[in-house]
Amino acid sequence: MGTPDFCPLPLYLNLSSMKMLVWNCHGAGNSVFKRTIRDLLKSHNPSIIVLIETKVQLSSMGLFFNNLGFAASTFVDPVGKCGGIWLLWDPFKVIVLALDANPQVIYVKIKRDHFPNWILSVVYARPNPTKRDTLWENLESMEDNMSEPWLAVGDFNDFASQNEKRSFVPSHSHARTRKFAARLNMCNLMDLGCSGPHLTWSNGRQGMANTLERLDRVACNTE
């Protein structure tokens, strides 16, 4: 018999898949947040929740998340009402070991029986360029000792090309985009792309004053 021109690949269930919900929520202390997070959990059934810019302390929401089944957490609370990173998980689905944390990034190791361990970094980069430099020094130091699969997610407060910014005001940010792309390369991280609207931040202004940028992303190493 001749070989067919097209032989489809067999379809196997990806048993290693795991859902993670990452939300730059801009405040977690209101009824709209609670209603929305319940809807998201019902729709997506994640094992891990990552919340960025919570602007409130996790202690004020602990019972709420316990009732949703996310009884384990590691977090960096906001300074005043600025920032905040929460990472919560269902302890019956996954083991998360905290490695390090500071106001701009949380590092954890993700473990599940019968699957390789991997590293998750949750990023909330500060708007201040000097503080972002400190973040990237931290990430580069992490990469120097990285031998496992590594996923970095969150608000990097930077964009990698002019295609990731839409503004009616002339842009002089070419040096900024080159620096950000170089930093990703230094950490051996590659952008995983996205579906849907890719410009994730707006200055909230109308008409010609509106600016949109892609500040939130997911990146990983080759492992």
- pLDDT score recorded for residue 11: 47
* Nearest in space to 53 (alpha carbons), one of 76, 80, 88, 26: 26
**Does residue 15 lie in a domain region?**
no
Residue range 165-175, pLDDT digits in tens = 777 776 667 88
- pLDDT score recorded for residue 76: 92
**Does residue 134 lie in a domain region?**
yes
**Does residue 128 lie in a domain region?**
yes
Residue range 36-79, pLDDT digits in tens = 999 999 999 999 999 999 999 999 998 999 999 999 899 998 87
- Cβ atoms of 105 and 139 within 8 Å: the answer is yes
In the three-class reduction of DSSP (H, G, I as helix; E, B as strand; rest coil), residue 163 is classed as helix
**Does residue 11 lie in a domain region?**
no
In the three-class reduction of DSSP (H, G, I as helix; E, B as strand; rest coil), residue 119 is classed as strand
**Does residue 14 lie in a domain region?**
no
Residue range 19-41, pLDDT digits in tens = 999 999 989 989 999 999 999 99
Looking at the DSSP bridge assignments, the partners of residue 107 are: 100, 121
Q: Give the number of other CB atoms < 10 A from CB of residue 47.
A: 18
Residue range 176-204, pLDDT digits in tens = 889 999 999 999 999 998 888 888 777 78
Strand-strand pairing, 20-24 and 216-220: unpaired
- pLDDT score recorded for residue 164: 75
Residue written as tokens 């996310």?
A: 70
pTM comes to: 0.86
- Compute CA distances 41 → 45, 49, 125, 209, whole Å: 5, 9, 26, 35
Number of domains in the chain: 1
**Does residue 6 lie in a domain region?**
no
CA distance 62 to 70: 9
What residue type is 5 in one-letter code?
D
**Does residue 4 lie in a domain region?**
no
- Cβ atoms of 187 and 154 within 8 Å: the answer is no
- What is the domain range of residue 94? 20-220
Residue range 77-119, pLDDT digits in tens = 887 778 899 999 999 999 999 999 999 999 999 998 888 899 9
**Does residue 45 lie in a domain region?**
yes
Task: State phi, psi for 151 to the nearest 5 degrees.
Answer: -120, 130
- pLDDT score recorded for residue 113: 83
- Cβ atoms of 199 and 212 within 8 Å: the answer is yes
199: CATH: 3.60.10.10
